[in-house]
Structure 1
Amino acid sequence: MKTDRKIELRKQLKKSGEASIWETNISNLVAKIYHSMMPEQIEKLNTMVANKPDISTLSSKHISIAWPDEILVDEEERCVGFLMPYVDGKTLVNVYNPIKREKEARGVNWRYLYGVAANTALIVKALHAKQYVVGDIKPENFLVNSEALVSVIDTDSFQIPKLTEGELLEVYRCPVGSKEFTPPELIGASFIDSIRLQAHDNFGLAVIIYHLLLGGKHPFSGRWTGEGADPSIDDLIHQGSWLYAPNSKLQVTSGTIPLEILHPKVQEYFHQCFTQGHSNPNARPGAEAWFRVLKEAYEDLADCGAEINHQYSKHYGRCYWCEMRQKLGGHDIFVPLGPKFTPSKEIHFPAPKKNSIPVKALIGAGVALTSAAGLIVTLNLSSFQTAETLQLPTLPCRNEPLPPSDFEDNRLALNEDLNRPPASGRGSTNLYNSTGLYVARYDGEFLNSERNGCGTLTFASGTRYVGEFRNDKFSGLGELTWKNGDRYVGEFENGKCHGRGTYIFADKTFTSGEWRYGDKVGSNLTCNYGG
């Protein structure tokens, strides 16, 4: 298959010894142009184009597998490369390595990393379902975005089966591999002459998951206590000598994050892969099994009460990251964002503070949502954007509030006529807290002596709500604006931000998404400020 379109190569994005990646005149498609091609490479690409896996995820705009889309030929009809979807993101090392994470992705936390691990497993699962083998499975070949959605690249290096009438006739082999991610049975072997198995991928996948969950450490690293010079990681892989192997000659170091902080089933899977799997590759858990156990472990996470960027396994019972911070003299491998905010029970509250982290580097926590097809976990996370082109819903209520000067004295209401709300129709009334302190004024519609319909509630603190009310509460569409300029526009229920909504900060950055009873789904941002 070849494209009948004329493709314009506009800008070279990347160059390697094998090929170059080019921006093209077609939106969201890039071209991979080889310096030279062998006949077998062309056959392999034609097979891949004709047998595409499901490259989409829950998000229709996200590409999880950068698969060849169309063959490209030159004017002499010679194959020169292929078109593929453009994917963007950070390599996994930028989110699991604490030093790189502090510079590249400051809002990342353990919940996010669990989501990345689960998404990576599901991509491998989707490939294995089509009998493809990644072969060179390594962190550099996986990119992740701010929502923990993962994309695999360099797909033309995969091992691809050639099927004729359902029978496997031959495979187009994966000619490459990477140190420290190659299983013991392939160490020292010629990759170009080796048939890769899914069990081989399962080893590399487990190493990546270990990196993601345990601070970027390799399972076959530690302090060597055996005889002679320190062996390389590949030597230890070949021997089966990982940190928690029986009679291991590796010992933990001061920087080791203990395996015991993980969910027990995750611990068990690492033992199956690196201990039993050393002599029996088929004992290694597969990608689908990894996804199931990671999802269970994700749901077992608890939030730390002292630091909103910390989570811990309920099985472990306490926040290890707080313990580690104390051991490291106050240094936190997850950028601290402060204690979880719990508003008081007064009727008016200060505006919540946005995390003080760079907008472009922000990656937050998330919530897992499994697609009907079971393909991917989507984590809707706090990814702030600029509000230059923000489209907000049209609000049905646009009451004009009284000027703030009418509310400067919040100690008592001077106008006694406003202390008795009308039974129905339009009117105004003052609101007080349980101690008799004046806190707000309502101007709008009433029904059965309650705020019902369109109205404006202006607090003595300067906070203001304009929108729909039901039974004295914010319910329906509305806009809540704080004195500092922050505002929320969207749906409310029972006095809380609930449903679809957008939080716009005073600096014109914003975050949109789903809210549940005052909390943004998959984020530490709260909006529990109702009347």
Structure 2
Amino acid sequence: MIRTWSPSGREWVLDEVVGSGSEGVVYTVEHRPGLVAKLAPLVAEPEVHRLRLDSLVRQGREPRTVKLLSGTPSRLAWPLETLVTSTGVVGYLMRDMRRAFLPFERQLLPTARRESLPEMTWGTALRTAASLAELLADLHAEGYVVGDLKPDNLWADAEGRTGLADIDSVQFTDGRLAFPCRMRSPGYTAPEGIDSDVLPDRSSDDFVLAVLVHQLLMGGLHPFHGLPADGTPYFSLDDNVRNGRCRFTDPASVLLPRTAPAADLLPRRLRSLFTEVFGRSGLTDPDSRPDAATWARALRAETRPGRLTACDRDDLHVHTVERPWCPWCDQQEHGAVTWGAPRTRSGPSEVSRP
């Protein structure tokens, strides 16, 4: 057990470790099942981090942030109160996202989906993508930049609602104080931030949003996944980003297994947005990228009645009505199962029948 104290002098006892990252460790809080606490023993500048947390706690009570935190379940694991240990390690209390959500990666990995979300379909993935875009658009509208947007700090539920944790790394200003985000995550960094000290902005978040939406809708496939088709050695996803190797915008640039989902399974309006982000203009001109609000509108439009259908072989094989045959059955013929197993339909459906 770890004893901590808030600025008011109240003692909070931290118990079991439930997660950890590059700078912090998350613990359960004794006698408070709805809360967890994050301590940051490895943060580079403890005093700056303390100022950041104090500012976030204060801003959590201001109108712009209160609006972000409204609703049930809360979409943000916002710092509620700062904590300090007897040895001076700084941390904060936050809501336990596990009470309402599952880790976001459960929606990206086929095996995890089948175990945790057996009823999930491509329609659910669309709703999750739309919810994530809406959350990001709301944060941007209030002056916050996530900066280190990635599956590890995201949460989602079976209805497609999303949440964000690791709020202590977001980029924001508080009066004359500026709190930058210098975190970088391989595969989830915009081109201008790869091997660079350039600070992220909203367009950086918009690039990573498109990556995450692609993964959700393509069964977990990263848009820059693949071996270089020209024989160049594969180094990393970031190297593929730098060199524009993307099956979606340049099919001849990468080699993918036959089990990869078909590139044409997406509706036209979403294909157009992906082309804007992952094509040459999106890679070199951040301002040209569609913003999160644009993504939210386009994704919500694809969830409307009549926009989804399911094949006759498997009710979990939901896809856009723009595609005349089932992409998931095609994928199964190549030995991959992305969505569930055949079952008997019961109750109301999210899809229409062709």
TM-score range, shorter chain: 0.7 to 0.9
Distance 1:56 1:523 in 2: 32
Greater shift in the superposed pair: 2-11 or 289-298 = 2-11
Q: Which residue of the partner structure matches residue 42 of structure 1?
A: 50
Distance 1:79 1:90 in 2: 28
1:8 is paired with a residue whose SS is strand
**1:222 corresponds to 2:226:** yes
Q: Which residue of 2 aligns with 1:159?
A: 171
Contact preservation (8 Å) 1:261, 1:312? yes
| 1:180 partner letter | G
Q: Is the 8 A contact 2:18 2:27 kept in 1?
A: yes
Identical aligned pairs, as a percentage? Answer: 24
CA displacement at 1:179 relative to structure 2: 0.7
Residue 308 of structure 2 contacts residue 350 of structure 2 at CA under 8 Å; is this kept in 1? Answer: no
Cα-to-partner distance string for 1:235-256 (whole Å, 9 max, x where unaligned): 1201222113358422453022
2:244 corresponds to 1:240: yes
Instruction: Report the CA distance between 1:3 and its aligned residue.
Output: 4.3
Q: 2:90 matched to 1:80?
A: yes
TM-score scaled by length of structure 1: 0.58
Aligned equivalent of 2:330: 323
Q: Distance in 2 between matches of 1:282 and 1:139?
A: 24
Offset at residue 320 of structure 1 (A): 1.6
How far has the Cα of 1:522 moved from its partner? 5.9
What is the 5 A alignment of 1:128-207?
Answer: 128-162=140-174, 164=175, 169-190=176-197, 194-207=198-211
CA distance in 2 between partners of 1:6 and 1:222 (Å): 51
Does the Cα contact within 8 Å between 1:3 and 1:72 map onto a contact in 2?
A: no
Separation in structure 2 between the aligned mates of residue 253 and residue 247 of structure 1, nearest angstrom: 13
Matched, 1:28 2:34: yes
| Structure number with larger C-alpha Rg | 1
Query: 1:293, CA displacement in angstroms?
Result: 0.5
Q: Which has the higher strand share?
A: 1
> Which residue in 2 is equivalent to 1:92?
104
Q: Which residue of 2 aligns with 1:488?
A: none
Alpha-carbon distance, 1:22 to partner = 2.1
Listed one character per residue, the Cα deviations across residues 147-198 of structure 1 (whole Å, up to 9, x for unaligned) are 2221111110111222x2xxxx3421112111111111111113xxx32111
In the alignment, residue 320 of structure 2 is paired with which amino acid?
Answer: S
Query: Deviation at 1:7?
Result: 2.0
Instruction: Write out aligned runs for 1:274-293 (5 A).
Output: 274-275=278-279, 276-293=281-298
Q: Distance in 1 between matches of 2:130 and 2:286?
A: 21
Instruction: Write the distance in 2 (CA, Å) between the matches of 1:19 and 1:247.
Output: 40
Structure 1 residue 47: Cα displacement: 1.4
Alignment of 1:309-458 (within 5 A): 309-328=316-335, 332-340=337-345
Looking at structure 2, the residues matched to 106 and 74 of structure 1 have their Cα atoms a distance apart, in angstroms, of: 42
What does 1:50-89 align with in structure 2 at a 5 Å threshold? 50-52=58-60, 53=65, 54-56=67-69, 58=71, 60=72, 62-73=73-84, 80-88=90-98, 89=101
Of the three residues 107, 113, 133, the one matched with 2:119 is 107
- Separation in structure 1 between the aligned mates of residue 14 and residue 220 of structure 2, nearest angstrom: 38
Structure 2: where are the runs of 5+ without partners? 1-5
* Greater CA drift, 220-229 or 288-297: 220-229
Residue 3 of structure 2 is matched in structure 1 by none
Tell me by how many angstroms 1:12 deviates: 3.2
Contact preservation (8 Å) 1:48, 1:68: yes
What amino acid does structure 2 have at the position aligned with 1:260?
A: D
RMSD of aligned alpha carbons: 2.6
Q: What is the distance in 2 between the residues matched to 1:285 and 1:22? A: 38
Residues 298-350 of structure 1, C-alpha deviation per residue, up to 9 Å, x if partnerless? 2211233332111111111222212322343xx53211232536xxxxxxxxx
State the shift of 1:15 in Å. 4.1
- Cα distance in 2, alignment partners of residues 139 and 337 from structure 1: 29
Measure the CA separation in 1 of the matches of 2:276 and 2:9.
50
Structure with bigger helix share is 2
The match for 1:479 is none
Conservation of the 8 A alpha-carbon contact between 2:259 and 2:331: no
Match of 1:6 in 2: 11
Deviations 1:37-94 (A, max 9, x none): 6221111111111223344465x2x121111011224579x67321111111332222
The equivalent position to 1:262 in structure 2, one of 255, 260, 266, is 266
Shift in CA distance, 49/79, structure 1 to aligned 2, threshold 3 Å = farther
Q: Which amino acid aligns with 2:332?
A: R
CA shift, 1:130, in A, is 1.6
For residues 399-421 of structure 1, what are the alpha-carbon distances to aligned partners after superposition, in whole Å with 9 as ceiling and x for unaligned?
Answer: xxxxxxxxxxxxxxxxxxxxxxx
Assess, with a 3 A threshold, how the Cα gap between structure 1 residues 124 and 224 changes in structure 2: closer, same or farther: same
Distance 1:321 1:211 in 2: 15
Q: Which amino acid aligns with 1:108?
A: M
Shift of the 17–96 alpha-carbon distance from structure 1 to 2, 3 Å rule, reads closer
> Per the alignment, do residues 239 and 35 of structure 1 end up closer, same or farther by CA in structure 2, a change over 3 Å counting?
same
With over 3 angstroms needed to count, the CA separation of the structure-2 counterparts of 1:98 and 1:11, relative to structure 1, is: closer
Distance in 1 separating the partners of 2:8 and 2:349: 42
1:120 to 124, 132, 139: 132
Provide the TM-score with structure 2 as the length reference: 0.85
Aligned 8 A contact 2:170 2:181 in 1: yes
**Contact 1:55 1:66 (8 Å CA) reproduced:** no
2-structure distance, mates of 1:7, 1:303: 51
Q: Deviations over 1:109-141 (max 9, x none)?
A: 111111111111112112111211111111111
Other structure's SS at 1:7 match: strand
Call closer, same or farther: CA 1:278–1:8 in 2, change over 3 Å: same
Structure 1 residue identity aligned to 2:287: N
- Alpha-carbon spacing, 1:16–1:178, altered in 2? closer, same or farther (3 Å): closer
Query: What is the DSSP-based 3-state SS (H/G/I as helix, E as strand, rest coil) of the residue aligned with 1:205?
Result: helix
Q: What CA distance in whole angstroms lies between the structure 2 residues aligned with 1:282 and 1:248? A: 27
Shift of 1:2: 3.7
